[in-house]
Amino acid sequence: MLPSLERAAELHAGTGGMSASWATVLNMTSMAGSITNAGFVFTEDLAVPSYKIGKAALNMAMRVAAAKVKDKGILIVMMCPGWLKTDMGGRERAVLEPEESIADMLKTLSTLNESHHGIYMDRLGTPYPF
């Protein structure tokens, strides 16, 4: 995928604005993937450990990739959509409708710039600890 991203960044270089001049990779992560908050914010750490471990691995992989492509015009971010009312998230306990989360993420995406490169954030763009 890297050659395609590099080509997209080259095609749009110099056209102005972050969204127009950078190729963007948005990774859907989870706040449950935070190593810093493991056992403190998400106290049910023994529940579904493979999900948490997988999200932590995604965050690390993308942080490494972000460092590699920073000067190539490729923006990489990790974003958590929030706790959604879905089959996985739990329709009764979760707090957000998928449509609410999507609307928030689209607004946030339009505001991203190079200061957000390699950042782990919530759907509103607030940084979250790795």
Beta strands in the chain, from DSSP E residues, in sequence order:
23-28, 74-80, 120-122
Is residue 127 domain-resident?
Answer: no
Is residue 128 domain-resident?
Answer: no
- Structural domain harbouring 80: 1-121
* pLDDT tens-digit map of 37-90: 887 765 555 567 888 999 999 999 999 999 999 889 999 999 999 989 888 777
- Which structure tokens are listed for 42? 């998400």
Is residue 95 domain-resident?
Answer: yes
Q: Tell me the CATH number at 23.
A: 3.40.50.720
Q: What percent of the chain has pLDDT over 70?
A: 88
pLDDT of 18: 47
Total domains present in the chain: 1
b/e string for 5-29 if b means 16 or more Cβ within 10 A?
beeebeebeeeeebeebbbbbebeb
Identify the DSSP state of 126: -
Is residue 130 domain-resident?
Answer: no
pTM of the model: 0.84
> How many CA atoms, within 13 angstroms, populate the side-chain half-sphere of residue 24?
22
pLDDT of 53: 93
